[in-house]
Amino acid sequence: VSPVTHALTGWLIAQPLHKRSERVAVTCAAVIADLDGLSLLGGVDAYHKWHHTFGHNVFFAFAVSIGIGVYFRSLKSGLLGLVAFHSHILEDMLGSGAGWGVPYFWPASERIYSTPQPFQWELDSWQNLAFTAIFLIATLWLGLKKRRTIVEVFSEKADLKVVTALGERFKKSA
């Protein structure tokens, strides 16, 4: 599943948090598993060996979530971090294509977990596209309703511009 979809999911999960920095951290928790995908930089062989290993497992999930919870001294952000991380695992099981399960207990066990057919979609499937579209619409809706979008992860200033533009667009069409 594309990092964009993971990020949108994580950002939506982060919405109960009041501080932008905490929402950013939880959004990152939904993407960080793909650190092991960076093995692609070492070539296709390295990618096949390492992708869906040290990033995509329960131990890393807890390390990241506890890190967030301790850093912000907030149980809520830690728990939402854990949920966000697992949204990545679930999305990968659903939408990475057949044969791309997740070794959830790596390195303790090499066993690969995957969702049963027909709940395995290819990367470019309409299901992945539909979910991404739904998350995008929810994000834009929040832009109107709560005056923030996922752009806040990169820059508060840029996000304000997006929110303002959204508001004007909405006024015009209303």
Is residue 91 a contact point for Zn ion (CB under 5 A)? Answer: no
Cβ-based burial of 61 (10 A; exposed 0-12, middle 13-18, buried ≥19): buried
Residue whose CB is nearest to Zn ion in the complex, by number:
92
Q: How far is the CB of 46 from Zn ion (least distance, A)?
A: 16
* Range in contact with Zn ion (rule: CB under 5 A) among 9-17, 89-97, 130-138, 157-165: 89-97
Residue number, 23 or 86, with CB nearest to Zn ion? 86
Residue type, 101: G
* Range in contact with Zn ion (rule: CB under 5 A) among 22-30, 57-65, 90-98, 148-156: 90-98
Q: How many CB atoms lie within 10 A of CB 153?
A: 20
**Cβ 152 vs Cβ 24: under 8 Å:** yes
Q: How many CB atoms lie within 10 A of CB 18?
A: 10
Of the candidate residues 28, 29, 30, 34, the single one contacting Zn ion (CB under 5 A): 34
Is residue 92 a contact point for Zn ion (CB under 5 A)? Answer: yes
Helix axes of 156-173 and 126-145: crossing angle, nearest 10 degrees: 90
Total binding residues toward Zn ion, as defined by CB under 5 A: 3
Residue number, 91 or 159, with CB nearest to Zn ion? 91
Cβ-based burial of 23 (10 A; exposed 0-12, middle 13-18, buried ≥19): buried
- Among positions 112-131, residues that touch Zn ion (CB under 5 A) are none
Cross-strand partners of 74: none
Q: How far is the CB of 33 from Zn ion (least distance, A)?
A: 5
Residue number, 74 or 87, with CB nearest to Zn ion? 87
Which residues form the interface with Zn ion (CB under 5 A)? 33-34, 92
